[in-house]
Amino acid sequence: MKRGFSLIELLVVIAIIAILVGIAAPYYSDYIKESKYSKAKADLDILRQAVILYNSREDLPYQGSLSSDTRPVFPAISTLGDNDFQGLQGQYLSVIPLDPWSKTYKLDPYGGFVYSDGPNSLDHKDDLREYYIKELALRKIEWEDTNDDRMMNAGDLLYLAFNKALFILPGEMEGSDFDVYENDIAIDASSATFDISLDIANNPGYLDETTATRSTLICKVGGSGSKLPKIGVHSIALKDEIRILQRFKEVRVNRESNARELKTQYSDPIRYAIRTAPIKITPKG
């Protein structure tokens, strides 16, 4: 005759199982959490690569859907929402995924990154972010000869093009923020000075952080023509000083804005400009 389990034995087994479940549950919860973060990072990498591929093939960087508002103060403003990546579907993306928390991934064309709001949409600290344009850097300098004398003079305009949107207060930017080079050797101010100031009249919206910030600073040339850099001879670079580089701030989108007035922010977390190799000044157009 077979003997069954006693009540005490069953209670002991149940207690052991409960202890094991209690020990394993946190590990399982951490595993689920980590797997969601891993999926989100993998999805963001796919979206990042799609944006990079688009930017390399198209004439304009991908900005999502653009507003139909054509006022000069609001040039090509993105309408950001739940369909940020719709313009990539087909040629660059086969499927637009949802994040592991069943929300849409988002694009920040001004900060140069794709991201997920994470588990808590109201807490920015748990956001996941992948940059497709990581470091803020000066990439091109163009000169507009306003008086057509084929020499750089006071009153001419210089277009300092960065690789993505940025913000700098006019009073914080000076020509002394830059070094002048000749044959890849820095020269002193007695030979050439980069005398410029941010031209507010040609930067509409730049003093108002509620509008989309541009990636090109339009500056007015000042000083003596004899000491200004020579086109085709001299090149320019931001100085490698943290106090100067920190003035040139990366901006990011405030998602509470609307299509007619896209707000940008430049509070923490923030990325500053980096120093690059000297850049030749080229005639505009």
Residue type, 155: G
Q: What is the C-alpha to C-alpha distance for residues 168 and 173, in angstroms, rounded to an integer?
A: 7
For residues 168, 173, 177, 179, the Cα torsion angle rounded to the nearest 10 degrees is 100
pTM of the entire predicted model: 0.80
Q: What is the C-alpha to C-alpha distance for residues 101 and 123, in angstroms, rounded to an integer?
A: 14
With CA atoms as reference, report the closest residue to 129 among 144, 142, 118, 141. Answer: 118
> Which H/E stretch holds residue 179?
strand 178-182
pLDDT > 80? residue 94: yes
Looking at the chain, the whole-number percentage of residues with pLDDT higher than 70 is 86
Could you tell me the domains of the chain? Answer: 7-134 (3.30.700.10), 138-283 (no CATH)
Q: What is the pLDDT of residues 124-154, one digit of tens each?
A: 788 999 999 999 999 999 999 988 888 888 8
Q: What is the pLDDT of residues 40-78, one digit of tens each?
A: 999 999 999 999 999 999 877 888 876 555 555 445 567
Locate 151 and state its tokens.
């020499």
Q: What is the C-alpha to C-alpha distance for residues 214 and 205, in angstroms, rounded to an integer?
A: 9
* Confidence (pLDDT) at 237: 94
